[in-house]
C-alpha cells in the first residue's frame, strides 16, 4: 500500500482532463472553465509549470471573458462564461464562480497582462455589485433583463466568498476598496445570520464544513474575522476537530454510537456530523482550522493521520487521482482537493484562494 504521493500518476490523470485544450474540440460542456481550473490547480500544486505547458491555451481562456450591455441600461457588465457553447445562445451566462475559476487559472498561468490591461475592472465590478441583494447575500448570476440578482439562483455563503475573492484579485485590499463595489457591512451581517449554535456556518442551523470554509475565507478577505467573538471561534475549532474520524475514539465517533462510523476512515474528515469521511472535507475542515487556529492546524498535520488516510485510502495508485472515499473511482474535483489539502498541510498551498502559495495575491 502506498504511503507517498503518486505525483507522476496524478499528473497524467489531471492532464487527461485538459486534452480538450486549446479549442479544437467542439463541446457543449457547460463546466469547461471549472474543469480547467481544477486540473490546472492540481497540476501546478504538483510542480508542473502550467504557464509554459499550456501557454497556447491562454487565448482560449480569454475568449470566455465577455462584456455585455443590456438594452436600456447604460452600465456595461463583464465576467466569465463557463463555456463558449453557452455564450453563443445566451449572453446572460456570466457567473461569479466561472469568473473566479478563470481569474485564478490566469494567475497560475502568469497572465499579468490580463490583470493589467485586458480585464475591465469597472464592468466586472458592476457585475458583482448587481449580484448583491439588499440583505448582503449574493446570487451567482444576474437576471439580464433588469439587471438584478437572478431570482432562480440560490444565495449562499459560497457566493459571498467568491465575490470577495474576485474583488481581491482585482486589487481590492482595504474595506474602502471593497466598498467601491459591494456593501461590506451587509455581507458580514448576512454571514453572521448563518452562524450555528455548535460553531461554524451553515443553513438552517446545521454546520457544514464547506460553508464554514467559505464564510471564514470571506471574513478574512473582508477584514471581518474580529467580528466573530472568541467563544464562537472556540466552538468552531472544536466542531472542526471533531469532524476527524478517530479510532481512538471521541464520544461522538465511537462505534455503535455513530451509525456512520467506519474504522477504515481513521484520520479522514466528515463535512457534517454523522456523515462518512470524504477527501474534499479534509480540505474544507483543515482550511477553516488554519484560519482560526494555526496551532491546532499544526497539531493535526503533525499527527499525520489525515495524510495517512488520504494517501492510503482515497489515493488511486493505479490510474492516479483521488476519490471521494475508499470505494468510489477517482474524480477531478476530489483529485484537486486531495492534492490541495496535502500541500496545505505541507505549507505550500494558499487555502483562501485554493491555489499554490506562489500564485496567490
Binding footprint of Zn ion on the chain (CB under 5 A):
278, 280, 324
Rounded CA separation 155/197 (Å) = 21
Smallest distance, Zn ion to C-beta of residue 195, A: 23
Q: Which is nearer to Zn ion, 6 or 278 (CB)?
A: 278
Q: Which is nearer to Zn ion, 215 or 280 (CB)?
A: 280
Q: Which is nearer to Zn ion, 124 or 209 (CB)?
A: 209
Smallest distance, Zn ion to C-beta of residue 325, A: 8
In degrees, rounded to 5, the angle at the alpha carbon of residue 352 between the alpha carbons of residues 321 and 94 is 80
Smallest distance, Zn ion to C-beta of residue 114, A: 31
Q: Which is nearer to Zn ion, 194 or 324 (CB)?
A: 324
Rounded CA separation 222/177 (Å) = 10
Cβ atoms 108, 44 nearer than 8 A: yes
Smallest distance, Zn ion to C-beta of residue 80, A: 24
Q: Which is nearer to Zn ion, 110 or 272 (CB)?
A: 272
Q: Which is nearer to Zn ion, 155 or 270 (CB)?
A: 270
Cα 231 off chain centre by:
27
Q: Which is nearer to Zn ion, 177 or 331 (CB)?
A: 331
From its phi and psi, is residue 274 left (phi > 0), alpha (psi between -120 and 50) or beta?
A: left
Q: How many CB atoms lie within 10 A of CB 160?
A: 29
Smallest distance, Zn ion to C-beta of residue 153, A: 22
Smallest distance, Zn ion to C-beta of residue 190, A: 25
**Of residues 97, 100, 200, the one with CA closest to residue 154:** 97
Q: Name the residue with the smallest CB distance to Zn ion.
A: 280
Rounded CA separation 74/231 (Å) = 48
- Cell 509554459 locates to 52
Smallest distance, Zn ion to C-beta of residue 15, A: 22
Amino acid at each position: 500500500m502506498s504511503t507517498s504521493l503518486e505525483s507522476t500518476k496524478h499528473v497524467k490523470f489531471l492532464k487527461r482532463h485538459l486534452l480538450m485544450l486549446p479549442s479544437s474540440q467542439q463541446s457543449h460542456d457547460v463546466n469547461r472553465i471549472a474543469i480547467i481550473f481544477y486540473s490546472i490547480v492540481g497540476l501546478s500544486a504538483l510542480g508542473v509549470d502550467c504557464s509554459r505547458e499550456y501557454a497556447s491555451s491562454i487565448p482560449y481562456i480569454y475568449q470566455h471573458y465577455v462584456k455585455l450591455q443590456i438594452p436600456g441600461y447604460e452600465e456595461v457588465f463583464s465576467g466569465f462564461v463557463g463555456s463558449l457553447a453557452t455564450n453563443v445562445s445566451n449572453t446572460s451566462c456570466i457567473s461569479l464562480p466561472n469568473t473566479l475559476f478563470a481569474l485564478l487559472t490566469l494567475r497560475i498561468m502568469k497572465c499579468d497582462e490580463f490583470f493589467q490591461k485586458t480585464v475591465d475592472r469597472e464592468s466586472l465590478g458592476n457585475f458583482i455589485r448587481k449580484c448583491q441583494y439588499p440583505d448582503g447575500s449574493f446570487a451567482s448570476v444576474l437576471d439580464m433583463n433588469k439587471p438584478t440578482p437572478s431570482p432562480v439562483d440560490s444565495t449562499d455563503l459560497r457566493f459571498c466568498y467568491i465575490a470577495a475573492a474576485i474583488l481581491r484579485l482585482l486589487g481590492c485590499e482595504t474595506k474602502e476598496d471593497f466598498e467601491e463595489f459591494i456593501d461590506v457591512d451587509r455581507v458580514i451581517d448576512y454571514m453572521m445570520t448563518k452562524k450555528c449554535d455548535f460553531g461554524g456556518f451553515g443553513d438552517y442551523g446545521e454546520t457544514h464544513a464547506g460553508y464554514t470554509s467559505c464564510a471564514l475565507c470571506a471574513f478574512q478577505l473582508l477584514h471581518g474575522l474580529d467580528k466573530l467573538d472568541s467563544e464562537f471561534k472556540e466552538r468552531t475549532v472544536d466542531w472542526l476537530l471533531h469532524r476527524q474520524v478517530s479510532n481512538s475514539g471521541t464520544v461522538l465517533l465511537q462505534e455503535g454510537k455513530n451509525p456512520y462510523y467506519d474504522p477504515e476512515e481513521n484520520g479522514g474528515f466528515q463535512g457534517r456530523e454523522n456523515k462518512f469521511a470524504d477527501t474534499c472535507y479534509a480540505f474544507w475542515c483543515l482550511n477553516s482550522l488554519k484560519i482560526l487556529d494555526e496551532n491546532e492546524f499544526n497539531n493535526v498535520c503533525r499527527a499525520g493521520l489525515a495524510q495517512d488516510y488520504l494517501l492510503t485510502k482515497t489515493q488511486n495508485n493505479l490510474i492516479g487521482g483521488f476519490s471521494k472515499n475508499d470505494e468510489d473511482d477517482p474524480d477531478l474535483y476530489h483529485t484537486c482537493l486531495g492534492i490541495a489539502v496535502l500541500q496545505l498541510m505541507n505549507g505550500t498551498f494558499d487555502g483562501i484562494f485554493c491555489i499554490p502559495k506562489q500564485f496567490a495575491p
